[in-house]
């Protein structure tokens, strides 16, 4: 599914975010920027040790913020590490919105025109997918309606169930 938002495109797809040919992908990171399982694990395996080495030099990223590294051996030139909230820690909606917006702003700062995001915090952090879709899509659509150089934003989702949730939410946000 693809939607035109102002001068940009927003797309929803199922797949492996590490296989996408985009300028940057977003990693659903933890505050210590350790690439463990899930999206981060796939990034580490396919992108190589250099990404973890760069994360180690950065050291820390607060919840709701984002940091950038190279893409190592990935097709993407950059990886944006966005730290989403653990479900139940408090102020989760605001933290997830901030992680999304800070990823978009960092992409803009690095003159990235195509960006892929996962459903941040919905894995081991336990955030409900429907709530995640509402927050991430509304933040992204609002951002793309502004003055941006981002041309293409894709939400790369893990499975068709998540895709259906995001599709339903996108129709309500547009």
Residue 58: which of 50, 68, 48 has the closest Cα?
68
Position 57 scores a pLDDT of: 97
CA–CA separation, 98 and 164 (whole Å) = 24
- Alpha carbon distance 103, 117 (integer Å): 9
What is the pLDDT at residue 138? 97
Ordered domains of the chain (ranges, CATH): 2-173 (3.40.220.10)
Q: Indicate the average pLDDT of the chain.
A: 95
| pLDDT tens track for 58-95 | 999 999 999 999 999 999 999 999 999 999 999 999 99
Binning pLDDT at 50, 70 and 90, where does residue 172 land? confident
Q: Is the pLDDT of residue 173 over 80?
A: no
Task: Kindly report the number of other CB atoms within 10 A of residue 153's CB atom.
Answer: 25
Tokens of 124: 């081991």
* Whether pLDDT at 174 is above 70: no
Predicted TM-score of the model (pTM): 0.96
């Amino acid at each position: 599914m693809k939607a035109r938002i102002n001068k940009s495109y927003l797309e929803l797809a199922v797949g492996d975010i590490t296989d996408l040919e985009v300028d940057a992908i977003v990693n659903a990171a933890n505050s210590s920027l350790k690439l463990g399982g899930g999206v981060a694990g796939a990034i580490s395996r396919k992108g190589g040790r250099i990404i973890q080495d760069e994360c180690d030099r950065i050291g820390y990223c607060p919840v709701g913020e984002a940091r950038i590294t190279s893409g190592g051996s990935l097709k993407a030139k950059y990886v944006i590490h966005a730290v989403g909230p653990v479900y139940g820690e408090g102020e989760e909606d605001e933290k997830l919105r901030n992680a999304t917006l800070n990823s978009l702003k960092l992409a803009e700062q690095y003159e990235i025109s195509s960006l892929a995001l996962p459903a941040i915090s919905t894995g081991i952090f336990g955030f409900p997918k429907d709530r995640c879709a509402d927050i991430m899509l509304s933040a992204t659509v609002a951002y793309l309606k502004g003055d941006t150089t981002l041309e293409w934003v894709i939400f790369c989702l893990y499975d068709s169930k998540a895709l259906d949730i995001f599709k339903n939410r996108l129709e309500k946000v547009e």
